[in-house]
Amino acid sequence: MTAVVTRKALHDLNEIRGGIVCIMATKGASGEDKGCFFLFGSGLPGLGHNISIERAEFPAGNKQKNDHLKYIPSEPKKIVTFASVYIGEISMSATIKCIGVLTSGGDAPGMNAAIRAITRAAIYNGIAVKSIYRGYKGLITNEIESFKTQNVSNIIQRGGTILKTARCEEFRTPEGRKRAYDTLCKEEIDALVVIGGDGSLTGARLLAQEYNYPIVGLPGTIDNDLYGTDVTIGYDTALNTVMECVDKIRDTASSHERLFFIEVMGRDAGFLALNGAIASGAEAAIIPEISMEKDQLAEMIENGFRKSKNSSIVLVAESEITGGAIGVAERVKKEYPQFEVRVSILGHLQRGGSPSAQDRILATRMGVAAIDALLDDQRNVMIGIQNEEIVHVPFAKAIKNDKPINRDLLNTLRIVSM
């Protein structure tokens, strides 16, 4: 027999946890199976801790029947009595018939390559794909479409995300996540793949914890600020964009003998600013990781900044800690009026454009790895890459831990900018 069990039924039964898989089947008026569900627990062979399963097949030769079994939940409100219970073994991978995929937060080059890889890897493994438009907002409002291989044709070279993305304040609330979960149940989506940055993965973690739901995340952000992965999807393309823009600005900076402060994205992470400065030959980078330790601007000026050059370029990470390029420039005008200062904010230029070869390859590897992770009973992890090897990073580590800056790169920049 095949028993179909809804996650909502499990949740409504106080998230029952047992040591065996149990299926209850009652007969309907026309003889069909109905009212099926099972108990689950960490003691099952091949299952992770607190795994819940939606669909299961129990071969006739591998089941036992126990009549009138009574089971009391860990914090019971009542005793649950079953007329017939079938006992068997199951792995989570056999239950995934359909996955959902969404992109959330800021877009990043390579997201489409990831969507393509996830879709085709799932279909290759016999799993249906439902794509969710506009991130968590679309999950709440049920903006969902079934995807086939042709839906992801000719998108690997495109920037942005074909699934769109949106901020969703409602999803930050328990009520909003409940609506999102109800949509997943209604659409019979067994697992979710989320592509985004730390905010997106924070939302994924909350949804997974509250409803014991399997989610795998992909690090899609140009900031490269997620712990546990050497690089994130979109970072390489954005870094090349920064380099190309600074090269052009340098032409006009040298013509007018000016000091340019160029603001790049990164929020509270200085990876784009630091590596962009090295790649473009800039004189310095002002980043939040070091601003908390010392006055980078004062150090730069006092060390004889610009003595041997007719123009200078400094990259500044956008951050309240650094003050951004405008804040730094205003301070220079007041404290060092001998410098002619200009500011350029690259802004959303950094998010656009066709993804680089590296980002396409990275996104494709991670997309396939996300499906492999779900088939291997992995859940609530981010797919990362370390030393060119795919790794699984728990959401808690990826989100809560700060990714350290490479201090050797700071010294490298000082040496080559003299």
Catalytic residue numbers? 223
Please, what is the end-to-end C-alpha distance for the chain in angstroms? 75
Q: What contacts 24+ positions apart, CB below 8 Å, involve 117-121?
A: 117/363, 117/364, 117/365, 117/366, 117/367, 117/368, 118/193, 118/367, 118/368, 118/370, 118/371, 119/147, 119/149, 119/151, 119/152, 120/149, 120/152, 121/367, 121/368, 121/370, 121/371, 121/372
> What token pair was written down for 275?
């590596």
User: What three-state secondary structure class fits 29?
Assistant: coil
Pairing label, strands 2-4, 55-57: antiparallel
CB-CB neighbours of 35 under 10 Å: 13
> What token pair was written down for 63?
């089941």
Sheet-wide strand order for 84-88:
33-37, 21-27, 84-88, 64-67
Burial 228-266 (b: 16+ CB within 10 A, else e): bbebbbbbbbbbbbbbebbeebbeebeeeebbbbbbbbb
